[in-house]
């Protein structure tokens, strides 16, 4: 990877990306450092272990070809995107520490509504953080299957589905996947019964949902008891 970055193209998914070096992780079993790379696409990004990247369908491409493929990918992206967030207003001091315990988002925002032109002052909370806040007050935030898909598509968060299951946007061989995480091996039959499918990747079983069935399957999973 000359100069810390390179231009790559995936022969299987037809995706194009800028590949750059990023922070590594420690292998929990061996304690050794695992080198990682970051793949930057026209509208998002993903991370991969360098070893997995070298064994994948990603390959180097020329600058001219990269620019052509990149522009094609840009042209396929929507002109605008819509994301969902919550704004907490009112007397927040008594629950200030409960809103975001890790202290990563403590800014106060002023939002002007588009319909009534009202000025709202408060703290912006993502859907996942809002779900956690509801849980602290023994309440449950109702989210539809479409809401879960919107959350995972517009952020790097893993919204809860049901039980301990969460939805994650993963990249496998350069292709985006909807993955279910937080499950136990005893629950695999239940997950497949509701429409998920499993795949062994690097000697590890993972659970996915087909993109064309994502809303239907999530609605089934949300009813699991």
DSSP structure class, residue 2 = G
Largest CA distance in the chain: 58
Is residue 12 domain-resident? yes
Query: What is the C-alpha to C-alpha distance for residues 207 and 36, in angstroms, rounded to an integer?
Result: 23
- At 103, is the pLDDT very low, low, confident or very high (cuts 50, 70, 90)? low
Give the pTM. 0.55
Name the DSSP letter for residue 160.
Answer: B
CA distances to 87, 95, 109, 112, 126 from 121, in Å: 8, 16, 6, 9, 16
Tens of pLDDT, residue by residue over 138-152, are 877 788 898 888 888
Task: Report yes or no on 45 lying in a domain.
Answer: yes
For the stretch 162-176, pLDDT in tens is 888 999 988 887 678
Task: Give the chain's domain count.
Answer: 1
Q: Which of 102, 107, 99 is nearest to 136 (CA)?
A: 99
Classify residue 53: in a domain, yes or no: yes
- Whether 149 is in a domain gets the answer no
Range of the domain at 28: 2-76
60 inside domain? yes
| Residue at 13 is within a domain | yes
Could you tell me if residue 30 is inside a domain?
Answer: yes
| Residue 42 located in a structural domain | yes
H-type helices in the chain, by residue range? 50-54, 63-76, 96-99, 127-136, 145-154, 188-193, 214-221
Checking if the pLDDT of 213 tops 60, the result is yes
Q: Taking Cα atoms as reference points, which of 215, 222, 209 lies closest to residue 176?
A: 209
């Amino acid at each position: 990877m000359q100069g810390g970055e390179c231009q790559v193209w995936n022969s299987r998914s037809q995706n194009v990306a800028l590949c750059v070096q990023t922070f590594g992780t420690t292998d929990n079993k061996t304690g050794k450092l695992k080198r990682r790379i970051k793949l930057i696409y026209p509208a998002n990004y993903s991370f991969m272990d360098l070893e997995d990247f070298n064994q994948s369908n990603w390959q180097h491409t020329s600058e001219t070809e990269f620019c052509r493929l990149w522009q094609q990918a840009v042209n396929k992206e929507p002109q605008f995107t819509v994301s969902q967030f919550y704004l907490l207003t009112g007397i927040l001091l008594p629950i200030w520490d409960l809103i975001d315990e890790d202290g990563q988002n403590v800014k106060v925002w002023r939002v002007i509504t588009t319909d009534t032109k009202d000025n709202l002052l408060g703290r912006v909370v993502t859907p996942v953080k809002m779900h956690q806040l509801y849980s602290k007050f023994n309440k449950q935030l109702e989210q539809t299957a479409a809401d879960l898909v919107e959350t995972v598509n517009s952020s790097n968060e893993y919204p809860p589905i049901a039980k301990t299951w969460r939805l994650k946007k993963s990249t496998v061989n350069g292709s985006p996947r909807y993955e279910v995480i937080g499950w136990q091996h005893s629950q695999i039959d239940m997950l497949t019964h509701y429409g998920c499918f499993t795949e062994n990747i690097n000697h590890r079983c993972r659970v996915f949902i087909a993109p064309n069935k994502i809303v239907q399957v999530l609605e089934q999973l949300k009813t699991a008891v």
